[in-house]
Amino acid sequence: MDPLEELVELVKRWKKRVNITGAKTREEITRELILDSLKPLEFGLIESPVLDAGCGAGFPTLPLAVRAPEVNFVAVDSNRKKINFLKEAIRRLNLQNVEAVRERIENLEHLHGRFKTVLSKAFLPPEEALVLLRPFLAPGGKLIVYSTPDAAKNIGKEPHYRRVDTVGYLLGDRKRCLIVALT
C-alpha cells in the first residue's frame, strides 16, 4: 500500500476514538491533510532541516517526510494525543527522518537559529507566526505559513525578513496560499 494511503487509513482509525483532526471523510483527509501539506514540496520550497511548529497530529510533516525522505523534520506540538498519533504514524510508516517533540514552541529556545525551513499550518494567524517563529530560522532560511488569500492580505512589510511573498494555489475549489518569508 502507498504510504500516504496507509496514513489516510491510520487517521481514519484513530479518528474513531481520538479527535486528532477536523477532517472526517477520506476525501477531506486526502485533500486537507495530505495534498495541502505537500504544496511546499511541489513548489520546491523545502530545505532541510525543517521545523513544523504546532504540527498537531503531524501535518504537514508526515506527508512531506514520506515524499522527501532525504529531509529531516522536527515536529513540535504540546498536545499529548496528537503527538501520540504522530509517533504511531512515524513507527507504522517507518519514517527515519522525523523527530516528534511534545512541548510548547515557546519553551524551545535551544532550537533557535537551527532550521532552514520552518512550517506553520493552522497553528497561529500568519502575522503572529511571522514574529514568533522567526528566531528558529537559520540565516538564509524561510518561514512557510499555510494561509488563505484573505488572511495573507494582513501581511505588510516585515522588518525581520528580506522578502515576503505569497504562492497561490487551489485546493479543490478553494483558494489557498503559502506565505513565504525569507531571512
* pLDDT tens, residue order, the chain (183 aa): 899 999 999 999 998 888 888 888 899 999 999 999 999 999 999 999 999 999 999 999 999 999 999 999 999 999 999 999 999 999 999 999 999 999 999 999 999 999 999 999 988 899 999 999 999 999 999 999 999 999 888 787 778 899 999 999 999 899 999 999 999
Q: Would you state the cell numbers that stand for residue 131, as one nine-digit string?
A: 514574529
What CA–CA distance (Å, rounded) separates 65 from 58?
Answer: 10
Coil, strand or helix: which one is 172? coil
Helix residue ranges, H only, 43-167? 61-67, 80-93, 126-132, 149-152
Q: In this structure, which amino acid lies at residue 159?
A: P
CB-facing half-sphere around the CA of 172: CA atoms within 13 A? 9
Q: Residue 94: its pLDDT value, please?
A: 97
**Chain centroid to CA 90:** 15
Alpha-carbon gap, residue 58 to 52, rounded angstroms:
8
E-strand spans in the chain?
50-53, 73-77, 98-102, 115-120, 137-147, 163-171, 174-182
Query: Which pLDDT value is given to residue 158?
Result: 78
Residues 136, 114: contact at Cβ < 8 Å? Answer: yes
Domain limits, the chain? 3-182
CA angle 29, 118, 60 (to 5 degrees): 10
Q: CA–CA distance from 141 to each of 1, 10, 117 (Å)?
A: 35, 33, 6
Report the topology of domain 3-182: Rossmann fold (3.40.50)
